[in-house]
Amino acid sequence: MKQNKRSNVKGLEDILVITERISHMKDIDALLDRILYEARKFTSADAGTIFLEEGDKLKFAYVQNDTLFRKDKDTGYNKYLYANQEMTIDERSIAGYVAKTNSSLLIKDAYRIPSSAPYSFNLDFDRRSNYHTKSILTVPLHTSLGNVVGVLQVINPKTKKNRTTFFTEKDELLITYFGINAANAVERAMMTRTMILRMIRMAELRDPKETGNHVNRVGAYTIEIYHRWATKYGIEEEDIKKNKDILRIAAMLHDVGKVAISDTILKKPAKLDEQEYNIMKYHTIFGARLFPNPASELDVVASEICLNHHERWDGKGYPGKVGNIFREELRMAAGKQGAEIPISSRIVALADVYDALISKRVYKEAWEESKVLDYIKEQSGAQFDPEVVEAFFAIYDVIKAIRTKYTDENEN
């Protein structure tokens, strides 16, 4: 019998397993990353891209490429994640054609598309990166109700011997089916993201220096620092991906407890006096109380981060070992120290302070970048966990890419 040359040809059953795996994911970014990874693994594709629809544009949401980004493998990240690129949805591009016609497209050789086709292959990417795109399979991400949320594209399938081959019609069928399940998960995660952003906006409306971008940045810094830290600790890639899903959302919620702080304190355009600052410290406990469900993984991590993001490695932070946070009378207590502070919160502590210092706030000017970095180095082992500081500097180019992606026009 003829053996199939492809290393990973699978069937419908495997698609169901993968679908189950993604169906519980909450964070939209972690989900997209996962969808692309699974689609590529399933088809043995060397590269792939996810585009999301925004109005009449397709936005480059995720790109993975084993050949080009191999160097980044040991660090477990790639900065291209944070590239801002978009294209118009029309029939001239391959992804645009698929989005517009809502049907899949299998191309055997990107360089031999007949000139009669409405779409053509954009050579820019190959030119800029020295990559050679050959076989492209592109499917629409449309939900079972027919909403198109984006486009999924896989590129250059490999044989077991790592030779580039072609996608088959079976791949097309299965990835199209996977696309529907993926689109449903994407739609659900977008809804979760919307709900969370509403919750954050409620806190923001009250806090003049709070912006959506600050929250987005702290969420992104946190998961990237975590990824680096966890890789170093030998935590399984599978677990890292799962944890990042929850971690980003929870980190974005770190300050929601500020909804319970009075305007006079929150909006004071000057330094807080001691009494005001003591009240402000309760935003940690107030935040933690908003997530009481121990059966919800998101509640557990969000509560933990709200409570502990102002603890310090040296034990001089707050609110300290307060015990049961639901007790009526609560006072600040002796600080938690070192590993007593959950890793999630040790990371958010650094991400939050970095962003607070490098940005302008109602009560302070933005610091020079070099001054911020000196401060962080100086506070390694004091305010911050040294290993978290190390992870932060190891991925500093990613941190900067995140800052560029989420900039406030009205900030700085």
Cβ atoms within 10 Å of 178's Cβ, excluding its own: 25
> Could you tell me the CA-to-CA distances from 294 to 62, 170, 225 in Å, in that order?
33, 44, 26
> What SS3 class is residue 343?
helix
Nearer to ligand C2E, 158 or 258 (CB): 258
Nearer to ligand SIN, 51 or 221 (CB): 221
Per-residue x/- marks for ligand C2E, 79-98, CB under 6 A? --------------------
Distance CA 161, CA 7 (A): 8
Distance CA 280, CA 222 (A): 23
Whether 247 and 29 have beta carbons less than 8 Å apart is answered as no
Figure out which of the listed residues 10, 41, 92, 268 binds ligand C2E, where binding follows CB under 6 A: 268
> What SS3 class is residue 117?
coil
Nearer to ligand C2E, 166 or 375 (CB): 375
363 binds, among ligand SIN, ligand C2E, Fe ion, none (CB under 5 to 8 A by kind): ligand C2E
Alpha helices (H) along 294-395: 297-308, 343-358, 369-378, 386-394
Catalytic residue among 57, 258, 316, 377: 258
363 is a site residue for ligand C2E (CB under 6 A): yes
Count the site residues for ligand C2E by CB under 6 A.
Answer: 13
- Token couple for 290: 């908003």
264 is a site residue for ligand C2E (CB under 6 A): no
279 is a site residue for ligand SIN (CB under 6 A): no
- DSSP string of 153-180? EEEEEBBTTS-B----HHHHHHHHHHHH
CB of 255 to ligand SIN, least distance (A): 4
**Restricting to residues 286-315, which ones interact with ligand C2E according to CB under 6 A?**
310
Long-range contact pairs involving 66-73 (C-beta distance under 8 Å, separation at least 24) = 67/131, 68/129, 68/131
> Could you tell me the CA-to-CA distances from 2 to 5, 74, 314 in Å, in that order?
9, 37, 65
33 is a site residue for ligand SIN (CB under 6 A): no
CB of 410 to ligand SIN, least distance (A): 16
Distance CA 353, CA 217 (A): 12
170 is a site residue for ligand C2E (CB under 6 A): no
274 is a site residue for ligand C2E (CB under 6 A): no
Figure out which of the listed residues 214, 241, 244, 403 binds ligand SIN, where binding follows CB under 6 A: 214
311 is a site residue for ligand SIN (CB under 6 A): no
Nearer to ligand SIN, 241 or 312 (CB): 312
Distance CA 102, CA 69 (A): 30
> Could you tell me the CA-to-CA distances from 366 to 101, 140, 393 in Å, in that order?
48, 43, 20
Cβ atoms within 10 Å of 282's Cβ, excluding its own: 18
253 is a site residue for ligand C2E (CB under 6 A): no
59 is a site residue for ligand C2E (CB under 6 A): no
Question: Is 268 a catalytic site residue?
Answer: no
268 binds, among ligand SIN, Fe ion, ligand C2E, none (CB under 5 to 8 A by kind): ligand C2E
255 is a site residue for ligand SIN (CB under 6 A): yes
- Determine the interface stretch with ligand C2E among 12-20, 289-297, 354-362, 390-398 (rule: CB under 6 A): 354-362
> Could you tell me the CA-to-CA distances from 407 to 82, 251, 350 in Å, in that order?
12, 18, 19
385 is a site residue for ligand C2E (CB under 6 A): no
- Determine the interface stretch with ligand C2E among 15-23, 87-95, 198-206, 350-358 (rule: CB under 6 A): 350-358
Angle, alpha carbons 195-200-201 (nearest 5°): 95
Nearer to ligand C2E, 188 or 289 (CB): 289
Nearer to ligand SIN, 115 or 264 (CB): 264
Distance CA 386, CA 369 (A): 20
252 is a site residue for ligand C2E (CB under 6 A): no
Distance CA 50, CA 89 (A): 14
Q: Would you please indicate which residues are annotated as catalytic (active-site) residues?
A: 258
Residues found near ligand SIN in the complex (CB under 6 A)? 210, 214-215, 218, 254-255, 277, 352, 356
Residues found near ligand C2E in the complex (CB under 6 A)? 268, 271-272, 280, 310, 352-353, 356-357, 361-364
